[in-house]
């Protein structure tokens, strides 16, 4: 009889161990790496640009952000928000391709090719841009904020 009890105890322990292992594996598969979180944030920021979501743009940019365009135009945080509010710039689409991320502590640079459609100065002329973009992001607490961006014609 003791032999059967030991076998039963071993089965119970094995079931508990397998359950714990399953739970750990399940939770780890849902956990995102910092790089994955940053790429998600980058894409959400570009969606906010298209949607003219100044609240989100304000939250996702550093107070000292430098936002450089391919024509040499540079915007501050105040400029970005003001230009959206007055309709000076309007993005119709923003698509990223070939995203690469290089992390260094609480900083990261994100490079990608972008196809952007936008109008300027309240005109109806739609401009298409194919650009190489570098964005520098800084992690503050649990979230990433854009510190600098520069684009050049691809």
How many Å apart are CA 81 and CA 18, to the nearest integer?
Answer: 53
Q: Looking at the structure, do residues 94 and 139 belong to the same domain, yes or no?
A: yes
Is there a single domain that holds both residue 44 and residue 87? yes
Residues 6+ apart with CB under 8 A from 76: 65, 66, 67
Do residues 69 and 143 share a domain? yes
Q: Are residues 72 and 132 in the same domain?
A: yes
CATH number at residue 47: 3.10.450.50
Q: Which two structure tokens, joined as six digits, stand for 48?
A: 């906010």
> Are 108 and 127 contained in the same domain?
yes
Residue 8 lies in domain: 1-31
Tokens 């940053």 locate to 38
The DSSP symbol for 31 reads P
Residues 47-98 pLDDT 10s:
999 999 999 999 999 999 999 999 999 999 999 999 988 989 999 999 999 9
pLDDT tens digit sequence for 2-52: 555 666 677 777 666 556 655 555 454 456 798 999 999 999 999 999 999
Same structural domain for residues 67 and 90? Answer: yes
Q: Are residues 71 and 121 in the same domain?
A: yes
């Amino acid at each position: 009889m003791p032999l059967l009890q030991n076998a039963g105890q071993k089965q119970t322990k094995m079931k508990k161990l397998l359950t714990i292992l399953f739970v750990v594996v399940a939770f780890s598969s849902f956990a995102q790496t910092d790089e994955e979180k940053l790429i998600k944030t980058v894409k959400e920021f570009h969606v906010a640009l298209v949607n003219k979501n100044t609240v989100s743009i304000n939250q996702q940019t550093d107070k000292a952000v430098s936002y450089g365009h391919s024509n040499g135009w540079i915007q501050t945080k105040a400029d970005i928000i003001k230009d959206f509010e007055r309709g000076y710039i309007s993005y119709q689409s923003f698509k990223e391709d070939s995203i690469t991320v290089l992390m260094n502590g609480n900083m990261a640079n994100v490079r990608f090719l972008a196809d952007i459609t936008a109008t300027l100065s309240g005109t109806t002329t739609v401009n298409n841009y194919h650009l190489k973009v570098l964005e520098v992001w800084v992690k503050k607490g649990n979230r990433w904020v854009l510190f600098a961006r520069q684009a050049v014609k691809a």
